[in-house]
């Protein structure tokens, strides 16, 4: 059962009661992420996420970890482009501990100078690790190539030069500016009672007030521009890693269900067109898949593949041909039905845990301002027609608006006929 309450200060509390579970997942979500940073602040949201676990007025960093480990729970956080989440998963009997820990780090973190320096080193290692993982790093490069001069393009972890520049007061200022009550969603799922949860959140967070006036307009609030073209990035690697993408739809767009079907049909599993054509039939890539990223006002659709330098041109050509086939209407009723069944099944199986439900209801609140039931989602997926998918494919897959990012051991005179001739 889903419930929602709003505290007087604007903090939203949403919950999904699961009486047959022994676990509870609790998250404090803030509608603030790397999109809301200036160029000089790039990475500060992620840095703050780390620092909130490094000690409060009542607990050291070690004590925070020890208290959660002592009950076998999970305490963690993540930063995204448009939000940051701090969460815990515990047995239902330990929900009071999870509430106390999360609200303590959220309200009373020290931002200790020595901890800042230690964590700075950790984050620099995290940035280096990302750059040493080419199948992930190429997605960061694609974002920079695709979104032209916009904060949403920048890496969530930041860059070494920005991470090195942050001082304690920078964190305090950003935290005070961005972590406002009306940007906060407390989400919980599992064996709990909503009215009891609201009472606890009111006692712990109800007194938090927005001490500043209206928030200043940010560069990240404007609609991102989207570029196109060929962007080779040279790096000594055995493989070439590529992302081919184009502008798509936002989180709340009416065509989003057709988008889910299109993405899954093209490259969402071992039976997908890309996997069968590029890997199974031709053996040109070990990993190939499609992906879609959607934000509040914009989105993109893309394909990733890792292949040899000699096969890069052929793989890009194969991808473009599959896009053309979809836009030309080459979808059977059986293929559509299998894809819809895959989507429904994977969604329902993915929602068997309390943490996945917690995330599900929080994202619904952030992007829709309401609960979107699984029955509604299933109904909308099943209602997607062959014509809906083809229409969206035709809208998206026009060669003039594509961005191709490549990461590999290229020579200066590198060119790609399969892409440049169509582009």
Give catalytic status of residue 238 as yes or no: no
Dihedral over Cα of 295, 84, 363, 133: its sign: positive
> Which residues lie closer than 8 Å to 323 by C-beta, 6 or more apart?
266, 393, 397
DSSP per-residue codes, 244-265 = EEEE---TT-TTHHHHHHHHHH
Q: How far apart are the first and last CA of the chain?
A: 50
Distance, CA of 405 to chain centre: 20
What is residue 386's three-state secondary structure?
helix
Choose, from 31, 37, 49, 82, the residue flagged as catalytic.
49
Query: Rounded to the nearest 5 degrees, what angle is found at the Cα of 156, between the Cα atoms of 155 and 157?
Result: 90
Are 323 and 246 a contacting pair, CB within 8 Å? no
What does DSSP say about strands 84-91 and 229-234: parallel, antiparallel, or unpaired?
unpaired
DSSP 281: I
| Residues assigned a catalytic role | 49
């Amino acid at each position: 059962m889903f419930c929602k309450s709003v505290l007087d200060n604007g903090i939203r509390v949403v919950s999904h009661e699961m009486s047959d579970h022994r676990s509870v997942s609790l998250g404090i979500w803030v509608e603030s992420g790397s999109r809301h940073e200036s160029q000089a602040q790039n990475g500060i949201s992620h840095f703050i996420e780390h620092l909130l676990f490094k000690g409060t007025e009542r607990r050291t960093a070690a004590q925070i970890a020890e208290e959660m480990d002592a009950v076998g729970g999970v305490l963690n956080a993540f930063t995204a482009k448009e939000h940051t989440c701090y969460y815990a998963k515990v047995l239902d009997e330990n929900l009071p501990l999870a509430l106390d820990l999360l609200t303590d780090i959220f309200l009373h973190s020290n931002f200790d100078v020595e901890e800042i320096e230690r964590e700075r080193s950790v984050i620099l290692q995290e940035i280096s690790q990302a750059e040493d993982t080419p199948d992930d790093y190429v997605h960061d490069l694609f974002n920079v190539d695709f979104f032209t001069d916009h904060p949403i393009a920048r890496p969530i972890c930041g860059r070494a030069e920005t991470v090195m520049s942050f001082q304690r007061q920078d964190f305090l200022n950003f935290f005070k500016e961005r972590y406002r009550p009306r940007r906060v969603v407390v989400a919980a799922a599992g064996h709990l009672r909503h009215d009891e949860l609201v009472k606890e959140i009111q006692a712990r967070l109800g007194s938090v007030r927005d001490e500043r006036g209206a928030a200043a307009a940010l560069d990240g609030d404007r609609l991102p521009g989207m570029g196109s073209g060929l962007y080779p990035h040279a790096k000594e690697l055995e493989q070439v890693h590529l992302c081919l993408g184009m502008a798509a739809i936002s989180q709340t767009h009416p065509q989003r269900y057709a988008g889910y079907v299109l993405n899954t049909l093209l490259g969402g599993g071992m039976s997908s067109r890309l996997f069968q054509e590029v890997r199974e039939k031709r053996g040109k890539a070990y990993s190939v898949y499609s992906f879609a990223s959607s934000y509040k006002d914009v989105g993109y659709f893309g394909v990733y593949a890792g292949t040899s330098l000699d096969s890069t041109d052929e793989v890009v050509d194969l991808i473009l041909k599959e896009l053309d086939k979809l836009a030309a209407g080459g979808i059977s009723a059986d293929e559509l039905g299998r894809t819809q069944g895959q989507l429904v099944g994977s969604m329902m199986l993915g929602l068997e845990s309390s943490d996945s439900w917690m995330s599900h209801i929080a994202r619904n609140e952030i992007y829709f301002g309401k609960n979107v039931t699984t029955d509604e989602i299933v109904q909308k997926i099943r209602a997607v027609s062959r014509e809906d998918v083809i229409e969206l494919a035709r809208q998206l897959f026009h060669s003039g608006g594509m961005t191709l990012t490549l990461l590999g051991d290229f020579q200066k005179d590198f060119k790609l006929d399969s892409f440049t001739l169509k582009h």
